[in-house]
Structure 1
């Protein structure tokens, strides 16, 4: 059963399906505007030991696994099976060994895979997936510079005119790159009070700009005395930090600390995109990219395991409006990934390095979760990420899309 559940989750992750939606459906209903949201739980025995109804439930569950055989085998079996016969043998074995007392409690705990781990944040309750070490600092610096160029070298996207004495907040500041950039851009023209917050101080700049402070705070619980005090709030790349419910809370917190008439701005990626003409032709983003399909499946699997909302970029405009912001606007830019990028080859190589760095950065969370049936060793994971970079160079068409959003508080 462990292998069948692994393949079921792997094919769902590869297609972006949320098989754990029941765990957060109440929050989604509230987010959609429904009221008086209630729920009720029931569990069902599975197998001969539970009587006639449990046998019927066994047939239902095994039918699901038999039903996903084609998607699993078309995806290569995710390293669990190599032939149709192996798949059928697994489903037959699952039928004969159904001993679970409840359909919802059947998945065994994963066995972590031994590997050399990097340094990660340890903030209580945080699900942030990426490291907080020197290589990650370098990756963030490269990412910041390339994305700044992608958006016409702008630091501020919102139509705000900062004045002397204005307070500006950078939420999820990391190494404080945006704060340092704004400090340099405003030097000699306007005196600002800049504040950067993050759950991990390890990446904070030292020394900090003279008009900036860096503090350890969660954006889910900012100081009460900050209410209605910031003219501008900046936030970026928290798709692998916040759950759906936490996004709602975070937007409420940011709304609280922005002063009336103040602005918020966000930057988040969209995973993944092809050129528009290829999409119109029905091309599959994973065609001729088997390494990418597996790596993205693991990326989505570990995000889903932690409840993270890696597709928030599709809904952030509506979420800002629901949080009370007005004049919500967005802008999209996309970057070619790999050597095929042509005149901007250097920048596109940088984009490839940035994205590959993300996938290398989540190795510890993936391997600690057992590899999701896709990899069994650290070497297999490293081989996949190496293959991923080759695919991006050799197979044309992949683009990564980035969106900036800005909105005003009434």
Structure 2
């Protein structure tokens, strides 16, 4: 299920490379500089959380053949880390952009090039744990319910879904950083992105009527 890169998969602007997926609102690049940023972000988050997840899934991680889906896997940092730490589980990373490998792929990692909003290419009730982090820029406000519906579809009964999105509140910004942040926020809001989605995730899950909060 690996994908070969073709020129039409990318577009370039001001020396940066971006995805070329029609109607996808995600604005960030997918070049080597962005991969470096995503790797740094992953290890920073792991240090701050002292773990790669917060869901109570230790029983899943010790079950041979358990399946985990990393939605919006980006550079593959979280997936690779999990696949290396827990070699008995199967990790699937999904993203709209092809994965640009910069190191050896773990044995039980599989990359899937797909758009959640067009359907995750797996049968119902496939995954024991689904992890999605920092995709507030990837969906419009109107798309979040559909995205979560699709995640729920491929999650096993009794499985765990972990969503993590940031608050847009930043503190002690200097004048240059504030101008950059204001411009970036204005851009994504024009695209229909909901910067306050972190406040609505629980509501979206409660609307499913299938989840207990941990």
Q: Deviations over 1:101-148 (max 9, x none)?
A: xxxxxxxxxxxxxx8241111112211111001111111111100111
User: 2:76, 2:99 within 8 Å by CA — same for their partners in 1?
Assistant: no
Aligned to 1:57: none
User: 1:221, 1:253 within 8 Å by CA — same for their partners in 2?
Assistant: no
SS state at 1:301 partner: helix
Shift of 1:294: 2.4
Shift of 1:226: 2.4
How far apart are the structure 1 equivalents of 2:22 and 2:103? 25
Shift of 1:179: 1.1
Question: More strand by proportion, 1 or 2?
Answer: 2
Paired residue for 1:183, among 83, 87, 92?
83
User: 2:25, 2:137 within 8 Å by CA — same for their partners in 1?
Assistant: yes
1:170 matches 2:55: no
Q: Which structure 1 residue ranges, 5 or more long, are not aligned?
A: 1-114, 275-284, 330-410
How far apart are the structure 1 equivalents of 2:112 and 2:103? 13
How far apart are the structure 2 equivalents of 1:325 and 1:171? 20
Q: Deviations over 1:204-255 (max 9, x none)?
A: 5553211111010111233464210100001111111110111111100000
How far apart are the structure 2 equivalents of 1:136 and 1:292? 19
How far apart are the structure 2 equivalents of 1:223 and 1:172? 12
Q: Which structure 2 residue ranges, 5 or more long, are not aligned?
A: 1-12
Larger Rg: 1
User: 2:27, 2:137 within 8 Å by CA — same for their partners in 1?
Assistant: yes
Q: Deviations over 1:359-384 (max 9, x none)?
A: xxxxxxxxxxxxxxxxxxxxxxxxxx
Paired residue for 1:318, among 164, 189, 203?
203
Question: More helix by proportion, 1 or 2?
Answer: 1
1:196 to 1:205, Cα distance in 2 relative to 1, 3 A: farther
User: 1:165, 1:193 within 8 Å by CA — same for their partners in 2?
Assistant: yes
User: 2:114, 2:121 within 8 Å by CA — same for their partners in 1?
Assistant: no
1:270 matches 2:167: yes
When the two chains are superposed, the root-mean-square deviation of aligned CA atoms in Å is: 1.9
1:239 to 1:200, Cα distance in 2 relative to 1, 3 A: same
SS state at 2:82 partner: helix
Q: TM-score, normalised by structure 2?
A: 0.85
Q: Deviations over 1:18-40 (max 9, x none)?
A: xxxxxxxxxxxxxxxxxxxxxxx
1:156 matches 2:50: no
SS state at 2:145 partner: helix
Within-5 A mapping of 1:82-101: none
Q: TM-score, normalised by structure 1?
A: 0.46
1:233 matches 2:130: yes
1:135 matches 2:29: no
1:219 to 1:204, Cα distance in 2 relative to 1, 3 A: farther
Shift of 1:151: 0.4
Q: Deviations over 1:276-317 (max 9, x none)?
A: xxxxxxxxx66xx43343222211210111111222112212
Q: Deviations over 1:333-358 (max 9, x none)?
A: xxxxxxxxxxxxxxxxxxxxxxxxxx
Paired residue for 1:259, among 148, 153, 156?
156
Q: Which deviates the most, 194-203 or 253-262?
A: 194-203
SS state at 1:259 partner: strand
How far apart are the structure 2 equivalents of 1:219 and 1:270? 23
How far apart are the structure 1 equivalents of 2:152 and 2:101? 25
Aligned to 1:395: none
> Number of residues paired by the alignment?
199
Aligned to 2:145: 248
Aligned to 1:303: 188
Q: Which deviates the most, 220-229 or 168-177?
A: 220-229
